[in-house]
Amino acid sequence: MYRQKSFENDINTLYLVATPIGNMSEFSFRAIDILKSVDIIACEDTRTTMTLLNHYNIVTPLISHHSHNEESSVLGIMKLLDSGKNVALVSDAGYPLISDPGNLLVSTCIKAGYNVVPVSGPSAFVNALVSSGIITQPFLFHGFLPSTNKQLRRILKEYQHFSYTMIFYVSVHKLTSALEEMIKVFGDREACLAREMTKKHEEFLRGKFSEILDVATELKGEFVLIVKGNPHEKEADIAEIDVSTLIDELVEQGFSASQAIKEIAKKHNLSKNEVYDKYHHTS
């Protein structure tokens, strides 16, 4: 076990700094101070990050760290840490590592014994989740959906009976096809499509997949899709349910046997005949 006490050692540090996802004002004093104090900022796109730095008069040097140069960049950042430098990692918007590069760098830093310290800030999927009106926990964050319908269908089938609220990033070009596939696999569920989070045209579309699909072609921007989970994580299997005990408990509460059978069938999404047969067979 490696125990990191972030602020009780003199070890060099990699800071993970979340940046605004749209509204420039959503940048904390702490994040600004960290970016001013570190020796180097590693970023996805130097032009995008430079706009943010100029806005806050931050003059710290930038280096590029993105998915296409990740392995070589990690080696360079490790050399900086080895030489006594502190480094901040930022993505173009939101939290590093959330559908953005950084996992390799973080795991390498941890193995080398350096501090890895998060600096709180905006996250598109968290913003969308808490505003969706759909139960917030437990939830599953998938990130971006696959680009082909075949891959998309495979992923959706894996989640078909999943009971958690599900969160997906969807590109504008795949929104319509993603919603169509979800209706086929999930049924016409409750969902919330969050668009252009924290920006001027921020919008929440709350309703059934089909209702969102009706206006999908009109929509532009960046999307987070929050999907209500299946109330049953998997299809109910009567063999796994102690029908006799459950019905006897209801009978003790004053239900008739037929009322209890109906209640158990409804609760577990089973056929009344199946429940009746099993109850009388085991009684």
Q: Which residue has the higher pLDDT, 147 or 9?
A: 9
The answer to whether 167 and 125 have CB atoms below 8 angstroms apart is yes
Q: Is residue 116 in some structural domain? A: yes
**Can you tell me the distance from the alpha carbon of 55 to that of 27, in angstroms, rounded to the nearest whole number?**
11
**How far does CA 264 lie from the centroid of its chain?**
34
Closest Cα to residue 165, out of 217, 218, 230, 211?
230
Q: Which residue has the higher pLDDT, 256 or 33?
A: 33
- Using CA atoms, how far residue 10 sits from 13, 84, 107, 281, in Å, is 9, 10, 20, 71
| Domain co-membership, 189 together with 113 | no
Query: Is the confidence at residue 148, as pLDDT, over 70?
Result: yes
**Rounded mean pLDDT of the chain?**
89
Query: Is the confidence at residue 102, as pLDDT, over 90?
Result: no
**In CATH, what number is assigned to the domain containing residue 180?**
3.30.950.10
**In CATH, what number is assigned to the domain containing residue 62?**
3.40.1010.10
Mean pLDDT, residues 139-152? 89
**Can you tell me the distance from the alpha carbon of 196 to that of 27, in angstroms, rounded to the nearest whole number?**
17
Poorest-confidence range of 50-54, 114-118, 262-266? 262-266
265 pLDDT band, cuts 50/70/90, is: confident
Poorest-confidence range of 82-86, 193-197, 250-254? 250-254
pLDDT by residue (tens digit) across 195-243?
Answer: 999 999 999 999 999 999 999 999 999 999 999 998 875 555 555 567 7
pLDDT given at position 161: 84
Residue 178 structural domain: 125-227
Q: Is residue 37 in some structural domain? A: yes
pTM of the model: 0.76
| Domain co-membership, 46 together with 100 | yes
| Domain co-membership, 94 together with 116 | yes
Query: Is the confidence at residue 257, as pLDDT, over 60?
Result: yes
| Domain co-membership, 222 together with 178 | yes
Poorest-confidence range of 34-38, 67-71, 165-169, 236-240? 236-240
pLDDT given at position 240: 55
| Domain co-membership, 90 together with 132 | no
pLDDT given at position 120: 92
**Can you tell me the distance from the alpha carbon of 99 to that of 260, in angstroms, rounded to the nearest whole number?**
48
- Using CA atoms, how far residue 281 sits from 113, 270, 274, 277, in Å, is 63, 17, 11, 6
pLDDT by residue (tens digit) across 116-128?
Answer: 999 999 999 999 9
The answer to whether 261 and 246 have CB atoms below 8 angstroms apart is no
| Domain co-membership, 129 together with 222 | yes
Q: Is residue 7 in some structural domain? A: no
| Domain co-membership, 199 together with 160 | yes
